[in-house]
Amino acid sequence: MRMSAAASARPALTALLTKRFALAACLSLSLLPAAVAEPLRIMPLGDSVTDGFALAGGYRAPLYSKLQQAGLDTLFVGDHANNPTSALTAAGQQNHSGHSGWVIDGRISPTRNGLAENIDSWLGRRRVPIGPDIVLLMIGTNDVIDNLQLATAPNRLSDLITRIVDPNDGLAPDAHFIVGSLIPNRQAGKQAPTDAFNAVLPGLVAQHQQAGESVSFVDVASYVHTSDMSDLYHPNATGAAKIADAFLLGIQDYLESIQPAPGDYNRDGLVDAADYTVWRDANGASGPGLAADGNGDQQVDQQDYAVWRDAYGPQPAPAATAAPTPSAGCLLCVSLMAAGLRQRRVVATVD
């Protein structure tokens, strides 16, 4: 059978248009942003120890460094950004909610502000901008200094925790709350009430856990000694690093307890390209609590890529330099171009 010139031209035209469409699709898809993994949003909350009084960045500076070394992609969040180090500022990690001189609840103090009466304005009215995944809290030193109704201080702290993470009507019900014990107080007569306050915290946290709230306890006081203090109330650089060690362990313990699906490295309930990004950025890291340590051997390597690949679907093996795998858009381009080539081969066989 012999086709007319017009009829024989149609398949060739179709093939050409298909090829051009594929090229246009490739160009368009190449302009789309790559999948980006959301960082773990951490809210340091407390008094001057968190704020960084007498030590720029406080414990936040060494904690951020340790989180990076552990392969965790994090973002510090909070209602203000004072007392950062240059490194925190350069990394966009200057935000926090540490307030020098504050107590648990300022409504019972004649001279001080408190967290309890301000937390709604930070997490309620501005919940979307802050939106913490984890809250780190150390508060109570100024209550001890002022001898501010210490018998009921644990109750005030308990109310603050519930206000934030209560699963029914908390300000951040999906966040995990890590309560840290108070570091040494070198003012005369103040270490005993500090110890008494700290002794109540494990049981208080256990009560919140039994109530279904996501809360854990870190014994920061066991890390920091009087020799790690720069003055009566605040840590020196060594003490700040030890506080960071304590909170890092608390964060890692919490992340390990979540037990996400295999390959869900950003723990958002999905196994997708964003999890590959987490693996790629952490590839080569070692240590406990690594987000992309899919097989639990404290190493992020090709085996952890395989865990993600098997959960997500077959993908080309990554190069040694951990180059990104082809996106779905590129695979679509290849398929469309291949379809065009197949059509052209059919045209060539028509006679």
Task: Say whether both 342 and 322 belong to one domain.
Answer: no
**Whether 74 and 190 share a structural domain:** yes
> Is there a single domain that holds both residue 170 and residue 248?
yes
**The total number of structural domains that make up the chain:** 3
pLDDT value at residue 24? 46
Q: Residue 196: which residues within 8 A CB-CB, separation 6 or more?
A: 150
On whether both 56 and 168 belong to a single domain, the answer is yes
Give the per-residue pLDDT at 258. 80
Residues sharing a CB contact under 8 Å with residue 199, sequence separation 6 or more, in sequence order: none
Are 18 and 166 in the same domain? no
Predicted pLDDT at 313: 65
Q: Which of 212, 240, 258 is the last residue of a domain?
A: 258
pLDDT tens-place string over residues 66-107: 999 988 889 999 999 999 999 999 999 999 999 999 999 999
pLDDT for position 288: 80
Last residue of a domain, one of 228, 258, 288: 258
Tell the burial category of 316 from Cβ atoms under 10 Å away from its Cβ (0-12, 13-18, 19+): exposed
Predicted pLDDT at 129:
64
Global pTM reads 0.71
Residue 300 shares a structural domain with residue 204: no
Apex CA 162: angle with CA 157 and CA 166, to 5°? 165
What's the CATH number where 220 sits?
3.40.50.1110
CATH code for the domain in which residue 282 is found: 1.10.1330
In a domain, 145, yes or no: yes
Could you tell me if 20 and 91 lie in one domain?
A: no
Quick count: other Cβ atoms within 10 Å of Cβ 284? 10
Q: How big is the chain by its Cα radius of gyration, in Å?
A: 27
Per the domain annotation, does 63 fall within a domain? yes
Claim to verify: residue 192 and residue 319 sit in the same structural domain: no
Same domain, 154 and 28: no
The answer to the question of residue 4 being in a domain is no
Q: Indicate whether 26 and 105 sit together in one domain.
A: no
The whole-number pLDDT of residue 291 equals 83
Residue-number span of the structural domain to which 343 is assigned: 12-32+334-349
Q: Which residues of the chain have pLDDT under 70?
A: 1-37, 125-129, 268-269, 313-351
Q: Is residue 109 part of a domain?
A: yes
- At 54 the pLDDT is 85
Residues in the chain: 351
**Are both 252 and 290 inside the same structural domain?**
no
